[in-house]
Amino acid sequence: MRTTLILFAILSIAVAVKWHQLHCYSFEDFKSEHGRNYRNAEEEEMRRGIFETELHRVRKHNADETKTWKEGINKFSDRTLEEKASMRGLDKSMLHDSKESDPVQYRRNSNFNINNLPFHVDWRQQGIVTPPKNQGNCGSCWTFATAESVESYLALATGVLDTLSEQQVLDCTPNPNQCGGTGGCAGGTVELAFAQITQSGGLSEEWTYSYQSFNGANFSCRPITPVVTVTNFTVLPSNEIQPMLEHIATVGPLAISVDASAWSAYESGVFNGCNQTNPDLDHAVQLVGYGTDISLGPYWLVRNSWSPFWGEEGYIRIMRESPDSVSCGLDIKPSDGDGCRNGPPVVKVCGTCGILYDSVYPEVQVVAQY
């Protein structure tokens, strides 16, 4: 099953129109490629206008030789800003006492030396990362980052890479204090989800509790058949690059929060297009590695949940700053991300796209034999 999905993704990407093929690309080409059938002529003209504006912007971006990433035409290219926002799903004051959690205290390594870390780390190569998924039109990124993290740490602990249920997390995680949103497709946080998995007795496999919220609908919590549980979790120190580098290099992937508001057209390369002055953390994803592109510089390797047909086969490389030159900004809308109701109005956020602000990983335990 896994091999079939990967082959399908590769074949589909191979025939997709790439940035260098857009010189004669039209709206009719776009409709055909993406199977668009609009409700009426009025909507079609509205979508055409959005598409043509986006196509012009993408062509202009790709003609700029100073840019370290390329953009393309994809399933988002006829969508409004509001529709694109629904593909994220942290709706956030962050890292304060209303996180609704009691994480394990992070232990610093006094012997840390960045020069001793590997030059390149990619946890996909260790067989502990499932193929990229697609959250659809539901703001469920936080449930995907949760399930993906449990999958990876289960694989690290047992050698078994299993696909786990995002829908269970979505349906069964109450959010009374509106941390990261109001729950379900309207947003939540990974910390809330980890705590709920512990309380409910564990997380089910995908095939026993399959994803149903692709079109944006919420559903009630159903009986579960858990195979693994979260015994606790650790939140890394906020806005510090050392703990993140060390963890990715020596332990495993991380669930992180980012500003993905400018990601929709990303196609390839090392991305550096976020608002660093006022980053707006609005998306939960999985950090699975880091490295350095010989032409484009250092990067973080991030797994998204917008299907394997987006970006670099479902992934994006984010510019990685050096430890002595990390940029920071102020998130003036923390309620759009992983914060809670009545939290602070402004928070300091560091790293490209705010990547250093909020990172967490679980401790897991098998509750059913495979």
Which sequence positions are flagged as catalytic?
Answer: 141, 283, 304
Q: Hunting for tokens 């707006």 — which residue is that? A: 280
Give the Cα separation of 80 and 90 in Å (integer).
18
Which tokens hold the place of 52? 């043509």
Give the Cα separation of 293 and 216 in Å (integer).
37
Task: Kindly report each contact of residues 112-118 with a partner whose C-beta sits within 8 Å and lies 24 or more positions away, as own/partner.
Answer: 112/242, 112/246, 114/242, 114/245, 114/323, 117/245, 117/246, 117/249, 117/250, 118/249
Which tokens hold the place of 190? 């990974």
Angle at Cα 225 formed by Cα 185 and Cα 126, nearest 5°?
A: 80
In Å, the largest CA–CA distance within the chain is: 65
Residue 223 φ/ψ region, left for φ over 0, alpha for ψ in the -120 to 50 degree band, beta for the rest: beta
Give every CB contact of residue 222 below 8 A, 6+ residues apart in sequence.
168, 171, 209
Give the Cα separation of 306 and 84 in Å (integer).
11
Please give the DSSP secondary-structure letter assigned to residue 176. Answer: T
Give the Cα separation of 317 and 300 in Å (integer).
5
Give the Cα separation of 193 and 170 in Å (integer).
8
Q: Hunting for tokens 């030159």 — which residue is that? A: 325
* Cα-based distances in Å from 309 to 32, 36, 70: 16, 16, 15
Give the Cα separation of 155 and 130 in Å (integer).
10
Which tokens hold the place of 316? 């994006």
